[in-house]
Structure 1
Amino acid sequence: MSGFKMTRGLFIVTCIAGAGLAGCGPASEREPGDEATGTAQQGLTEGAPLTAHDASCLSMQDQNTWSTYASYMTPVGPALGLSAVLKDLNRVGPMLTATTHPPAVGYKGGFRWNDGDMGTTEWIPQALTAGVSGTANVAIASWHYAPTTSPEKGVRISVADISDMSLSAVNYRHILLVRPTSSGNFTVVPEHGGGLAWVGNYLYMADTSDGVRVFDLTQIRAVDTSTTCETAIGHVGSVWCAYGYRYVLPQVSAYVMPSALTTPCRAKFSFLGKDTRGTTPVLLSGEYCNNNDTPCNYDGSASGLGGRLYRWPLDATTSRLVATGGVVKPERAYIMNEPNVQGVAPIMTSTSTTSYWLSSTRYSGALFKVSTSASRTAYLSGSGQWAKMPEGMHATGSGTNLWTVTEGVSGVTNPATGGRVVFFADQASLD
């Protein structure tokens, strides 16, 4: 860190005076098929192949609160873990049918939320990840709290048992995310919740401005659900509250960008994914950009095409990001050449780590198949090829299914025409 601070002025001047997104350090090594690095060699064009990007100036610091935050939660009660929650699912999401599912190429199945969750304006679905707990296949979706006049409730997740999609409904439960603040106390996590990735026992969540927060699924705890707790958070008298939620999932640490990092070296963490195709598993992170309020002007224009996709190496044993002296660096980065990207998943039918699915709200909803070697393939909601307002995604390890969650069109509760859904499609049909 001291070295960076000493040369910060030179770093930033060089970067801005150069070619917009061309990075602040030496060019990264390329994989076969990578295109030219940065915008000095190749202009940004919507639908163009992924452009390799020099991310050598970007880093995150492990906040290293793993043991401290865990100890703070001890007085709250025993750690129950995800398995306990799966035995206590209290909501029912009807399966989608031939007449209620949204149009999507390769559609195979899915479910909607219950009536209250389909229509609420307080909570908005954002991210999706999936994994296995015991013998259960589980989907986890995030929701961010929308009202500006109410107390901030932060982010909640929905844990859904998707083990048998031939049933009439999926059972699920909401859990509130919290951050420990002191021994026996915690508060909400005031973030957008735009990205999730389930790695080992950890749930990674995108922290838009700062990096990535990490939650431990083995540390889920039950709290009080009395009337008092419906409007309170943390330790209240002799009980612990979470705005009426029965369970809380505590943060254990975070990976945060140094405050000295500025645009364009500083990244946004809008969405997350996980890629296990290479020799080392990686956490994927990406930036949402558009041509209106979030243009990513550091690309030299207001086109919204400058969003970048990063690959962060994971330690397969610890399920944490690979760190040297507490510092983590991306192993590779790309400029996506796509606006309004909301989610990413690896194309698991390919062994190449240079191809991805991108979920986008461009054209009111789209799925893009992208790589470093070819222009995109697009599946558009306006052409009846994909759902409206898609957000986070998850690709099964076998390469069979591609899952996604939709935010929902404002005011629409019909799942066939834009209401909130979780569904999966056959990757072979999309390929």
Structure 2
Amino acid sequence: MKQRGRHRRRRRGAALRAVLAGTALALTAAATLISASQATGTGDPGALKPLTSSAGTGELRLQEQLVPAGSLDRLTKAMGRPVGVGAVLESADRTLREGAGCTSGERGSLPVAPAATRAYCWDPADTATTDWRPASVTTSGDADDDGLWGANRVILAGWTHSATTGPAAERGLARVAFVDANDPRHLAYRWVLLVVPVDGGRDYRGLVSHVSGMVWYQDKLLVTTDSGAAEALYVYDLNRVQRTTVDGPAVGRVPGGWSADGYDYVLPAVGAYRFPAGDCATAEGGTPCPGSISLDRGTAPDSLVVSESTPAGSDRHARLWRYALSADPARGGLLATDAAGRVDAVEAYRTKAAGIRGVLSYRPAGAARATWYLGHPPGNVEGHGTLWRQDAKGAKAARCGSDATRRCWAAGAGSLSYWQETGEVWSVTDRMLFSVPLASIDSSLG
């Protein structure tokens, strides 16, 4: 279990920030990989437009559905005592290489401006094919404001398997890299497969979904889902990581024990949040398709921010909104609900941005309202994307290169996660894991 003490280890945190500042990677050479043909960038998404009517926010309501305790207990009894995050980290069997040891192609996916100060490429065993791709990230900086889970600094990265290539049994599955980030120069990780209990906890199935966003808050991991049903988020308990006993391609109970497509660990869902209106809409308005999520500690209580998934390069105006997280100690890590288990958005906006792949909300000290950061791809072309900072007054993005293109953000970038203790924003490209100081993002905007 997580041991609290939110105000300790501040000196340790200051020392870490000093180390990071002194060891920043010289990665700005990636700018040479952007050509003049990329000068157009994406259009200015303009100012955020508040949604205040019940008609505008009603479609954002969620219904909480927790897995019965009896089902979870039945699964635990069958599989054995769960292990903690620390045990997963101790068994790490993959390593991340620092940016200088990565290929030029891998480094070329990093942001041009602002430049990444920390960057890592994944173990070659995990990038030999394009079957699996990372899309989301969260950290122990989200889990607790001291930046630690127990004694560990941890990064979680969500990957999804292609639904069209590779072995049929694992198509569309979702897995999470549990990254030991205690030593910034030597990161290691272990895979955990996301699963969903079925048959009253007598079995489980793999989560078949593109994991476009994750937030680790207290002991819960909230994960976006596009599983084709009305689910918007799945909820996982980091205290319920289970070991498998059979090394095979199946996922679930098999003769002789429990299998998970060859993975040694699974994380069973403990609940879900669904849109009562049903499946998300493909046209503007109606039930949204959730895209990226992140944590905002600048609200009271802390909140989960969400961006709507819309096609890149389209003229659909996406929605941004937030849900309050529960302040009830008995509901740690869950969203705040009413007596009927309903969750309403406490703030919502519309933006002209499309294809949003990363969303972040941050309120600087003394500011009346939060500023929103949106990362999205360059329309219908390949290459670097853009990162916009938006508020009710307008939008700004970094410019880079002699042609002043706004396409300075990472190529194929995923979700955003702000590590409050260190001031870093973490994200992933389709090739790398990286961080950029939030202060650098703000200073690069023009």
Q: In structure 2, what is the equivalent of residue 268 of structure 1?
A: 289
Instruction: Work out the CA distance in 2 between the residues paired with 1:46 and 1:323.
Output: 36
Among 89, 92, 95, the residue aligned to 1:89: 92
SS in 2 for 1:78: coil
* Structure 1 segments unaligned to the other structure (5+ residues): 1-44, 296-302, 408-419
Contact 1:346 1:395 (8 Å CA) reproduced: no
| 1:163 counterpart = 2:182 | yes
Offset of residue 133 of structure 1: 1.7
Instruction: Work out the CA distance in 2 between the residues paired with 1:291 and 1:177.
Output: 27
Instruction: Work out the CA distance in 2 between the residues paired with 1:51 and 1:68.
Output: 45
1:321-375 Cα distance to aligned partner (Å, 9 max, x none): 1111111111011112212210112236455543122121126312211222232
Among 189, 212, 229, the residue aligned to 2:233: 212
Contact 1:321 1:328 (8 Å CA) reproduced: yes
Among 41, 51, 54, the residue aligned to 1:53: 51
Q: What does 1:273-292 align with in structure 2 at a 5 Å threshold?
A: 273-290=294-311
Among 287, 299, 320, the residue aligned to 1:309: 320
TM (norm. structure 2) is 0.75
Among 122, 126, 132, the residue aligned to 1:113: 122
Q: In structure 2, what is the equivalent of residue 134 of structure 1?
A: 150
Among 371, 392, 413, the residue aligned to 2:391: 371
1:28-67 Cα distance to aligned partner (Å, 9 max, x none): xxxxxxxxxxxxxxxxx84201111234313111112252
Offset of residue 184 of structure 1: 3.3
1:398-427 Cα distance to aligned partner (Å, 9 max, x none): 4711111112xxxxxxxxxxxx11111122
TM (norm. structure 1) is 0.78
Instruction: Work out the CA distance in 2 between the residues paired with 1:130 and 1:66.
Output: 28
Instruction: Work out the CA distance in 1 between the residues paired with 2:74 and 2:415.
Output: 31
1:224-247 Cα distance to aligned partner (Å, 9 max, x none): 253xx1x11111112100000000
Contact 1:271 1:342 (8 Å CA) reproduced: yes
Instruction: Work out the CA distance in 2 between the residues paired with 1:379 and 1:329.
Output: 37
**Counterpart amino acid of residue 71 in structure 1:** D
| 1:235 counterpart = 2:253 | yes
1:266-295 Cα distance to aligned partner (Å, 9 max, x none): 111111111110111111111122366xx4
1:174-219 Cα distance to aligned partner (Å, 9 max, x none): 1100001133311101111111011111000012353111011100
Q: In structure 2, what is the equivalent of residue 191 of structure 1?
A: 209
Instruction: Work out the CA distance in 2 between the residues paired with 1:428 and 1:360.
Output: 20
Offset of residue 265 of structure 1: 3.0
Instruction: Work out the CA distance in 2 between the residues paired with 1:105 and 1:384.
Output: 11
| 1:176 counterpart = 2:197 | no
| 1:323 counterpart = 2:337 | yes
**Counterpart amino acid of residue 389 in structure 1:** G
Among 341, 347, 351, the residue aligned to 2:356: 341
Contact 1:61 1:256 (8 Å CA) reproduced: yes
1:14-39 Cα distance to aligned partner (Å, 9 max, x none): xxxxxxxxxxxxxxxxxxxxxxxxxx
Contact 2:84 2:239 (8 Å CA) reproduced: yes
Bigger CA drift: 234-243 or 366-375? Answer: 366-375
Contact 2:378 2:407 (8 Å CA) reproduced: no
Q: In structure 1, what is the equivalent of residue 83 of structure 2?
A: 80
Contact 1:211 1:255 (8 Å CA) reproduced: yes
Count of residues paired in the alignment: 360
* Structure 2 segments unaligned to the other structure (5+ residues): 1-42, 141-147
Instruction: Work out the CA distance in 1 between the residues paired with 2:233 and 2:131.
Output: 24
Instruction: Work out the CA distance in 1 between the residues paired with 2:278 and 2:427.
Output: 36
Instruction: Work out the CA distance in 1 between the residues paired with 2:89 and 2:261.
Output: 21
SS in 2 for 1:136: coil
Instruction: Work out the CA distance in 2 between the residues paired with 1:348 and 1:53.
Output: 19
Offset of residue 69 of structure 1: 4.1
Instruction: Work out the CA distance in 1 between the residues paired with 2:354 and 2:407.
Output: 20
- CA distance 1:384–1:285, change in 2 (3 Å): closer
- CA distance 1:260–1:367, change in 2 (3 Å): closer
Instruction: Work out the CA distance in 1 between the residues paired with 2:422 and 2:353.
Output: 24
Instruction: Work out the CA distance in 1 between the residues paired with 2:150 and 2:309.
Output: 34
